[in-house]
Amino acid sequence: MLQGGAVPRTALELVLISSIETRVVLVITAVLSLAAWFVIILKWLQFRRINRQAKRFFAEIERTTRLQDAYASVAKLTPSPWGRLMREADSVGRIPARKSASDA
C-alpha cells in the first residue's frame, strides 16, 4: 500500500486506495460495458447471417426466369426476411398461380 502522500503508480493501486463509492461506480461501468459489447457482437453476428441469407436469396432470384419458379426456389431456402416478403406477396395474391398443362 501507499504511505503518506505517495502518488499511486499503477491503476490497481489507484483502485485499491479509492473509496467504496468509486469502486461501485467502476464495477457498474465495467458491467454495462460488457453488456454493450455483448449486444454489439450479437448484432454483428445477426447482420452477418442476414447478409448470407440475402446473397442466397438473390442468387436464387437471378437464376430463375419466371416469378413462379423464383417463388418455388425461394420457398426451399431457410427462412429469411426476403423469403417472408415473397410469401407475404403470395398470400395477398400478387404472384400468379402456376398454370398446369391441363389449364392450357
Hey, where are the domains in the chain? 14-95
- Please spell the DSSP secondary structure of 12-73, one letter per residue: HHHHHTS-HHHHHHHHHHHHHHHHHHHHHHHHHHHHHHHHHHHHHHHHHHHH-SSHHHHHHH
CA nearest neighbour of 80 among 35, 49, 43: 49
Residue 98 pLDDT level (bands cut at 50, 70, 90):
low
Lowest mean pLDDT segment, chosen from 39-48, 55-64, 69-78: 69-78
Long-range contacts from 41-46, C-beta under 8 angstroms, 24+ separation: none
pTM, to two decimals: 0.60
Residue 47 pLDDT level (bands cut at 50, 70, 90):
very high
The Cα–Cα gap between 72 and 67 comes to 9
